[in-house]
Amino acid sequence: MKRIIISGGGTGGHIYPAITIYKEIAAMTDAEFLYIGTEKGLEATLVPKEGIPFKTLPVEGLNRNLSVRALVTLGKTLGSLVKANRIISEFKPDIVIGTGGYVCGPILLAAALRHVPTLIQEQNTIGGITNKILSRFVDVVAVGFEEAQKAFVKAKRIVYTGNPVRPEVLVDTREEGRSFFNLQNDEFAVLIAGGSRGARSINTAMIEVHKHFKDKKGIKLIHVTGTGEYERVLDALGIKDGQAYSETSVILPYLHEMPKALAAADLAVFRAGAVGLAELTVRGIPSILIPYPYAAEDHQTYNARALVSAGAARMIVDKMLQGNDLIGEIEYFMQNPAERARMSVAAKALGKPQAAHDIAQLALDIAK
């Protein structure tokens, strides 16, 4: 039986790929797993819910300015290396897999220095700082975008696998998705989502979009505001929770049935996080991307550009976004089915539905 450590932390963009890879390996072989995360990160909530044994390291992002806080962080990092080394000794993994975030540093470095096989999975076109450092030590870097290979010139081995997509995204047919949202055949379905907490700039622009398309036939706006933005959007539209704004608009704080919405959508308005883009491309959905401008090293802009240059998406810069821009883009796509079809083919060409399986197989191939 294989013994496998998986680590990834901080944001859902690191944690969801880790969980998807875990599930894929578990389906392929008998294995014992251990997940390494932090106490404060989102992984401390998500990972135990999946029933994966979970341990933490006291690690934080290094502050580049010399200060007392930076020295405390450095001390925690050194302490986490000692603890990571102890975990390696006790668990005796056959492979250690990292999907990004500061917590990956100590456990992957400890494993690599002890010649335990190691793999990192980089989701973005611009490699994260932890993964860039680790790439000099680990056995394999699996990249989600072809463009990301340039970030890892010192790596021993790079494999372009694409980003892992949760299996449920691939299950529903278009007919099932559209039936779930009660969509007619001739209705143009737009899925708008800015992440679990919501994207203020997108939601603000969408207020004008909802007003413009109110009760117009032939279009349905499925708008997932994020839990933190839901009440603000409802207030701006003059409605209360549970009230419908119009037959055209479906406004939700959160959507558990996102795979069904993806199956139903003709067009998506999204941020440009790697996980969301992987799901859009495997479903072949044309998109309008508004990258989050404060992402580390502006990686969302680079992610978006990869889709734009492939002809799979159009991009609006966050600070330039206005309601009229979105209205114009949506109307353009409604009126140009041939362009939609072309972009759908381009998006699907970028999609890697087998990515999770390929990464899992790669990990098993290099495991001791």
- Residues annotated as binding site for UDP-N-acetyl-alpha-D-glucosamine? 11-13, 124, 166, 196, 300
Q: Which two tokens stand for residue 123?
A: 């989701």
Pairing status of strand 313-315 against strand 287-289: parallel
CB atoms under 10 Å from CB of 72, counted, come to 12
**C-alpha–C-alpha distance, residues 322 and 99, integer Å:** 35
DSSP assignment, residue 35? E
CA 93 to chain centre: 27
Q: Which two tokens stand for residue 122?
A: 């980089």
Long-range pairs, 118-122, Cβ under 8 A, ≥24: 119/95, 119/359, 119/362, 119/363, 119/366, 121/17, 121/21, 121/97, 121/161, 121/163, 121/164, 121/359, 122/148, 122/151, 122/152
| 155/130 Cα distance (integer angstroms) | 13
Annotated binding site: 11-13, 124, 166, 196, 300
